[in-house]
Amino acid sequence: MSGQLVAAGLPWPPSVEDFYPPDVAGPWVTKFTLMIWLAVGLLIIFFMATYRNPKLVPSKGQWMAESVYGLVRDNIAREQMGKDGIRFAPYFTVLFCFIVVTNLFGVVPGLQISPNSHIAFPIVLALVSYVMYLYIGARKHGLARYLKQSLILPGVPWPMHFLLIPIEFLQTFVVRPVTLAVRLFANMFAGHLILLVFTVGGFVMLASDNLFVQISSLAAFLMAIVMAFFEVLVALLQAYVFVTLTANYIGSSLADEH
């Protein structure tokens, strides 16, 4: 029986329903669409303001924007794709910043849920990467050669191909985009759930009629604060992982040999 730990008005235990805040105005204007537009607006304003008048000795804003771009270009694009990566660096930078900002909405007071905790948004981002690396591979090598290159491993005995071609097909065309989307989604989903468990759980414990349980709620609130910082780390890490994997996939499409 979990009935003894129920506080009035609080959803306990946390469930999937907690991920659907009420619509702001009709089904097309939800909290999530507003947050997406907010993220897009913030990024446009930030990069416009910092790059409108670039100087040789950068101002504070320009330095920040250049640091982000430099990080993505040197640590992600060049590391994963070599010299070819430089021309993709602007896209990766925008992708990285967009995911970081939308992920960080999960810990911003007032917003407190990341749009990426709904699978729809990561699916779109993963689809962009998916179409991108397929298109780039097909454009560089031609469709037939690209398929041959990504399906047929060189230097294996021919009967092994009956086993290897389906595995390679699954790996390149199914598992990659699915894991790309699910990884981002599940991390944000789990993060929001963890924060809900500790904060709502703290209030539920506080509403208990047992003094010991009431005092123990302090631990739950402390844990909620620790987990909020952990969520910031996860938000940055997942953005980095998403962009790194996208760069890796595009790089493997561009590669000449298997």
Partner 1 sequence: MTDLAAISGSVNTIGYGLAAIGPGIGVALVFAAYIQASARQPESAGYNRTWLVLGFALVEALALFGLVLAFAVS
Q: Where do contacts with partner 1 occur on this chain (CB under 8 A)?
A: 1-2, 16, 75, 79-80, 179, 182-183, 185-187, 189-190, 237, 240-241, 244-245, 248
Distance of alpha carbon 10 from the chain centroid? 29
Rg of the chain taking only CA atoms, in angstroms? 23
- Record the tokens describing residue 185, joined without a space: 């989604």
Least CB distance to partner 1 at residue 197 (A): 13
- Record the tokens describing residue 14, joined without a space: 């946390």
- Record the tokens describing residue 45, joined without a space: 């304003």
Task: For tokens 């991390």, name the residue.
Answer: 187
90, burial (CB in 10 Å: exposed 0-12, middle 13-18, buried 19+): middle
CA dihedral 4, 9, 15, 21 (to 10 degrees): -170
Nearer to partner 1, 137 or 191 (CB): 191
Coil/strand/helix, residue 25: strand
**Vertex 48, ends 42 and 53: CA angle to 5°?**
150
Nearer to partner 1, 80 or 149 (CB): 80
Query: Does residue 205 contact residue 12 with C-beta atoms inside 8 Å?
Result: no
Least CB distance to partner 1 at residue 169 (A): 18
Question: Phi/psi of residue 106, each to 5°?
Answer: -65, -20
Least CB distance to partner 1 at residue 6 (A): 14
Nearer to partner 1, 42 or 190 (CB): 190
Nearer to partner 1, 68 or 193 (CB): 193
Nearer to partner 1, 107 or 181 (CB): 181
- Record the tokens describing residue 95, joined without a space: 């992708």
Least CB distance to partner 1 at residue 187 (A): 7
Least CB distance to partner 1 at residue 211 (A): 26
Nearer to partner 1, 60 or 83 (CB): 83
Closest CA to 245 of 130, 145, 117: 130
Least CB distance to partner 1 at residue 16 (A): 6
